[in-house]
Amino acid sequence: MASALINVPKKAKRGDVIEIKTLMSHIMETGYRHTAAGQVVPRDIITSFTCRYNGEEIFRADLFPAIAANPFITFFTIATESGKFDFEWIGDNGFSEKASATISVE
């Protein structure tokens, strides 16, 4: 089942500033909701998102319950070399998802 939507330009020129857009499927349950019976719906969120470019971390985010469901995060990086972007989402209840995208830089 598809969990993530990634948008990375396929090609770029060396030194270009490129935008990376990520969308991950996740309910981001805040931990502040209650059922009609009065029980707390326990917190279940993504807590951390990391992006590595050819192994080196170029962006990281700490997420809190205030981040909306199906977290959408966009950021920028300088295209330095061809290679791979690795994305990782980590969260409550052992949540761990990875995705990757390649880029060709001339």
Partner 1 sequence: MKLFGTISLTAVLMAAGFAAAAEIPRNERRSGYTFMAPDTQTIQDDDTANPGMLWVLDGESLWKRKAGAAGKSCSDCHSDANTSMKGVAARYPAFDKTLGRPVNLEQRINLCRARHQEASPIAYESRDLLALTAFVAEQSRGMAITLDTTVELQPFVAKGRDFFMKRQGQLNLGCTNCHDDNWDKHLAGSAVTQALPTGYPIYRLEWQSMGSLQRRLRNCITGIRAQNYDYGAPELVELELYLMSRAAGMPIETPGVRP
Partner 2 sequence: MRKSEGSTRRQFLGIAGTAAAIGTIPVVSLRPVAATPETMTAAIRNVIGSAAVRIGKVKLDVPPLVENGNTVPMTITVSSPNTAEDHVKSIHVFNEKNPQPNIGNFYLGPRAGRGQVSTRIRLADSQKITAIARMSDDSLWSATADVVVTLAACTEEVI
List contacts with partner 2 (CB under 8 A): 17-18, 30, 32-36, 38, 40-41, 53, 56-69, 71-78, 80
17: contact with partner 1 by CB under 8 A: no
Query: Hey, what are 67's tokens?
Result: 């981040």
Under a CB-based contact definition with an 8 Å cutoff, are residues 105 and 10 in contact?
no
**56 φ, ψ to 5°?**
-100, 135
CA angle 34, 39, 42 (to 5 degrees): 70
**Beta carbon of residue 68, minimum distance to partner 1 (angstroms, whole number):** 7
CA–CA distance, 3 with 70 (Å, rounded to integer): 9
CA–CA distance, 17 with 38 (Å, rounded to integer): 50
Q: Which does 85 bind (CB under 5 to 8 A by kind): partner 1, partner 2, none?
A: none
**Beta carbon of residue 14, minimum distance to partner 1 (angstroms, whole number):** 24
3: contact with partner 1 by CB under 8 A: yes
Per CB under 8 A, residues contacting partner 1 are 1-3, 5-7, 21, 23, 25, 27-28, 68-70, 72, 74
